[in-house]
């Protein structure tokens, strides 16, 4: 079997790892990609019982479901140093985007193939498509103006706040989502995570200054493109074991913090005191 130089990466954590390693989700995610990956990988992030998870991860390797797994705690400090980031850099307006960022940063840091396909754990291809969109995406990435390639998402709204052009097959915009992306590993493994662009204020407040927002800034500062395949779709759904799901009750302090964050967002949208407000 010929390999295309693409590594598959996804992630799990304490509230969903059993779906992946006990209930077959990991194999299903890979199978639905319908592509001969050079390497298939799982990032394991913030689990309660490492030894138990490791037993199941070893089993997934022995059964040929994946080739490697990585506990993020073993790599994140080296990754942060490599990308010139510090733990505090993920905080913005009182909200912390660190845990949203660990897995994709580690994936970028450890990937050794030419391209990297990343799915967050709660996303996968909607079905097993006959056409190998990933191989077509690799060809699209030969154009250096294209930063990343992705299928369409199942909740796509044409009125989203992003400029775009399209033809019969593709949509091109300056957006980015960490839910699914195919990109050159050399780009992801570069010093691209320390920039700001005012359009990044479209991201939810609760995410802090996370990986997704940082890549979005880099793309928009350089007018790079995301290529979206219109005829293949990935799905995004809630993926949390019931015992981990707790409805958030907002206190007065939470409400106050949120209001202050919204005010700061308005100022940043007007490019006022950006450097000060990003502290």
**For residues 27-51, average pLDDT:** 96
Measured distance CA(74)–CA(190) in Å, rounded: 20
Task: Tell me which DSSP letter residue 89 carries.
Answer: G
Q: What is the pLDDT of residue 238?
A: 86
Tell me phi and psi for residue 10, to 5 degrees. -145, 180
- Given this model, what pLDDT does residue 160 score? 62
Q: CA-to-CA distance for 243 and 222, rounded, in angstroms?
A: 44
pLDDT in tens, 179-191: 999 999 999 999 9
The CA–CA distances, whole Å, from 50 to 9, 68, 216 equal 19, 16, 33
Q: What is the DSSP pairing of strand 180-184 with strand 115-119?
A: antiparallel
Task: Output the CA torsion 212→217→222→226 (10° steps).
Answer: 30
Most confidently predicted of 123-127, 248-252, 266-270: 123-127
How distant, in Å, are the alpha carbons of 26, 84, 97, 269 from that of 100? 19, 18, 5, 23
- H or E element in which residue 16 lies: none
- Dihedrals phi, psi of 93, to nearest 5 degrees: 55, 35
Would the pLDDT of 279 be above 50?
no
Q: What count of residues does the chain have?
A: 279
- Would you say the pTM of this structure is higher than 0.75? yes
* CB of 30 closer than 8 Å to CB of 63: no
Which of 94-103, 121-130, 147-156, 265-274 has the least mean pLDDT?
265-274
pLDDT at position 157:
78
- What is the Cα gyration radius of the chain? 19
Confidence of residue 120 (pLDDT cuts 50, 70, 90): very high
Cα gap 94→192, rounded to integer Å: 23
Mean pLDDT of 3-8: 87
pLDDT tens for 153-180 read: 999 877 665 568 989 999 999 999 999 9
CB atoms within 10 A of CB 27: 17
Query: What pLDDT, on the 0 to 100 scale, is given for residue 260?
Result: 72
pLDDT at 44 over 90: yes
In angstroms, rounded to a whole number, what is the distance separating the alpha carbons of residues 209 and 97?
Answer: 5
How confident is residue 131, by pLDDT bands cut at 50, 70 and 90? confident
The tens digit of pLDDT for each residue in 195-254 reads 999 999 999 999 999 999 999 999 999 999 999 999 999 999 988 777 766 666 667 676
**How far apart, in whole angstroms, are the C-alpha atoms of residue 153 and residue 176?**
12
180-184/68-71 β-pairing: unpaired
Q: How sure is the predictor about 55, in pLDDT bands with cuts at 50, 70 and 90?
A: very high
Q: Where are the alpha helices (DSSP H) in the chain?
A: 17-21, 25-33, 50-62, 76-82, 98-110, 133-140, 185-188, 211-221, 252-269, 274-277
Arithmetic mean of pLDDT over the chain: 90
3-state secondary structure at position 47:
coil
């Amino acid at each position: 079997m010929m390999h295309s130089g693409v590594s598959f990466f996804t992630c799990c954590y304490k509230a969903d790892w059993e779906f992946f390693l006990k209930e077959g989700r990991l194999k299903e995610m890979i199978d639905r990609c319908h592509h001969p990956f050079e390497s298939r990988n799982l990032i394991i992030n913030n689990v309660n019982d490492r030894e138990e998870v490791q037993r199941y991860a070893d089993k997934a390797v022995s059964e040929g479901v994946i080739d490697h797994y990585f506990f993020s705690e073993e790599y994140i400090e080296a990754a942060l140093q490599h990308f010139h980031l510090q733990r505090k850099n993920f905080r913005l307006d009182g909200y912390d985007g660190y845990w949203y960022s660990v897995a994709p940063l580690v994936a970028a840091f450890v990937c050794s193939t030419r391209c990297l396909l990343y799915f967050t754990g709660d996303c996968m291809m909607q079905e097993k498509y006959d056409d190998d969109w990933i191989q077509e995406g690799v060809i699209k990435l030969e154009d250096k103006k294209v930063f990343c390639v992705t299928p369409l998402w199942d909740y796509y709204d044409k009125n989203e706040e992003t400029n775009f052009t399209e033809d019969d097959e593709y949509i091109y915009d300056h957006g980015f989502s960490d839910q699914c992306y195919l990109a050159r590993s050399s780009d992801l493994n570069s010093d691209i995570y320390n920039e700001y662009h005012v359009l990044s204020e479209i991201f939810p407040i609760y995410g802090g200054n996370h990986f997704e927002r940082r890549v979005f800034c880099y793309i928009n500062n350089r007018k790079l493109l995301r290529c979206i395949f219109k005829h293949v779709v990935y799905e995004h759904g809630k993926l949390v074991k019931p015992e981990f799901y707790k409805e958030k009750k907002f206190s007065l302090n939470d409400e106050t913090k949120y209001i202050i964050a919204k005010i700061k967002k308005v100022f940043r949208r007007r490019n006022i005191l950006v450097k000060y407000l990003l502290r």
